Amino acid sequence: MTELTHKSIVDGWFREANDECFPGQAFTLKVEKILYQAHSEFQDILVFKSTTYGNVLVLDGIIQCTERDEFAYQEMITHIPLYLHKNPKRVLVIGGGDGGVVRELLKHDCLTTITQVEIDETVIKLAKKYFPGMSKGLDNPRVEIKLCDGFIYLQDLAQLSNQDKYDVIITDSSDPEGPAEAFFQESYFRLLKNALKDDDSLIITQTSENVWLNINYLKDLLKAAKSVFPNTKYCYTMVPTYTSGQLGLMVCSPNEKLDLRNPTRVPTKTEQEDLKYYNRDIHEASFVLPNWADKILNRS
């Protein structure tokens, strides 16, 4: 069998370098073995086993998750909006084919329906094979997977009654290139708002950037979101294998009175024991920014 190769792996090291997204810097991981490499209908996909972070999923040259630190992202993008909602029942996940968000959602017994919309079935299949700890909830009876474009799915939702819409929508997309580019525009936020059940509903999305990489992009993204959701705030999580070690999140609600920094509910003792990263203090602290960043994003 021919040994797999990939252009981002040279001399046994994976190198994430993208001058358009992350100018002037790069991130590397030592590779033990390439497990999968191919180009799906939508994107370049690489899975490799690293020497220190377990299996790693890479889409279009950018790390999406590693077995060692994925929970820091999955827990925050999931539990921030879930614990802000007083009684969530129906949740929509756009993207997230690796299954990490669904795994976290299933920790909430109050949820009756979890709909996941993923455009690339290959990602789901690879997650089940190489990331079983993340994908273990994808076959749960509370989970419905729809293989289609998330943007189009949201357009169709506009025709449904409120009872078929969602309490929380989580956008767990890849970066704004290729199939995920539409998820970072004002028109997308309008579709999200139309897919929410009522004013107590929330959305959260990964921002692709953090304050160290491209704060002006974040400022523009917040402006686009606030044109639709006046109650919009930026927060972040710490993930070593994301560029600069941080990833921004943006949480929004039609309810202007809801304090996004303070959970409406808190994990029970049993729920908290099942969480590695999220807790009430982390929730509140994730919205606290350094002075220079706070001035640009929240006071300009």
Residue 1, in any domain of the structure: no
The answer to whether residue 4 is domain-embedded is: no
Answer yes or no: do 34 and 98 share one domain.
no
The CATH code of the domain that includes 26 is: 2.30.140.10
Structural domains in the chain (count): 2
End-to-end alpha-carbon separation of the chain, Å? 58
Q: For position 176, what pLDDT does the model report?
A: 44
- pLDDT tens by residue, 4-27: 899 999 999 999 998 877 888 899
Q: What is the mean pLDDT of residues 150-169?
A: 86
pLDDT value of position 174: 55
pLDDT category at 1 given cuts 50, 70, 90 is low
In a domain, 51, yes or no: yes
Which runs of E-coded beta strand occur in 118-180? Answer: 143-146, 168-172
190 and 50 housed in the same domain: no
The percent of residues in the chain predicted with pLDDT above 70, rounded, is 96
The confidence score (pLDDT) of residue 239 equals 97
Range in 161-175, 201-215, 267-281 the model is least confident about: 161-175
pLDDT (0 to 100) of residue 251? 98
Other beta carbons within 10 Å of 26 = 11
Note whether residue 242 is domain-resident: yes
Q: Return the CATH number at 99.
A: 3.40.50.150
β-pairing verdict for 168-172 and 246-253: unpaired
Q: Report d(CA 204, CA 191) in Å as an integer.
A: 13
Identify the CA nearest to 289 among candidates 215, 213, 231, 235: 235
Instruction: Give the pLDDT confidence score for residue 179 in this predicted structure.
Output: 45
Contact 173, 247 (CB under 8 A): no
Same domain, 95 and 210: yes
pLDDT band with cut points at 50, 70 and 90 for residue 48: very high
Domain C-terminal end among 46, 66, 86: 66
- The average pLDDT across 269-276 equals 95
Q: Choose the most confident range, by mean pLDDT, from 1-10, 101-110, 170-179.
A: 101-110
Residue 132 in domain: yes
Q: Please say which residue of 50, 66, 82 terminates a domain.
A: 66
- Same domain membership, residue 134 and residue 259: yes
User: Do 211 and 291 share a domain, yes or no?
Assistant: yes
Spot the catalytic one: 120, 172, 175, 200.
172
Do 36 and 145 belong together in one domain? no
116 and 50 assigned to the same domain: no
Q: What percent of the chain has pLDDT over 90?
A: 83
Q: What phi and psi, each to the nearest 5 degrees, are found at residue 151? A: -65, -45
Residue 60 falls in the annotated catalytic set: no
Nearest to 102 by CA among 81, 75, 120: 75
Express each pLDDT in 137-152 by its tens digit: 999 999 999 999 988 8
Q: What is the mean pLDDT of the chain?
A: 92
Domain that holds residue 181: 70-298
Residue among 207, 196, 210 at smallest CA distance from 168 = 196
In a domain? residue 3? no
Of 39, 66, 93, the residue at which a domain comes to its end is 66
Question: Torsion over CA of 152, 158, 163 and 167, rounded to 10 degrees?
Answer: 70
Higher-confidence residue of 178 and 59: namely 59
Q: Both 32 and 178 in a single domain?
A: no
* Judgement on whether residues 294 and 174 belong to the same structural domain of the protein: yes
Is 180 in the same domain as 231? yes
Q: Is residue 55 included in any domain, yes or no?
A: yes
pTM for the full model? 0.94
Q: Is 231 in the same domain as 124?
A: yes
Task: List pLDDT tens digits, range 64-81.
Answer: 999 999 999 999 999 999
| Phi and psi torsions of 12, nearest 5° | 80, 10
Assigned domain for 2 exists: no
The answer to whether residues 151 and 252 belong to one domain is yes
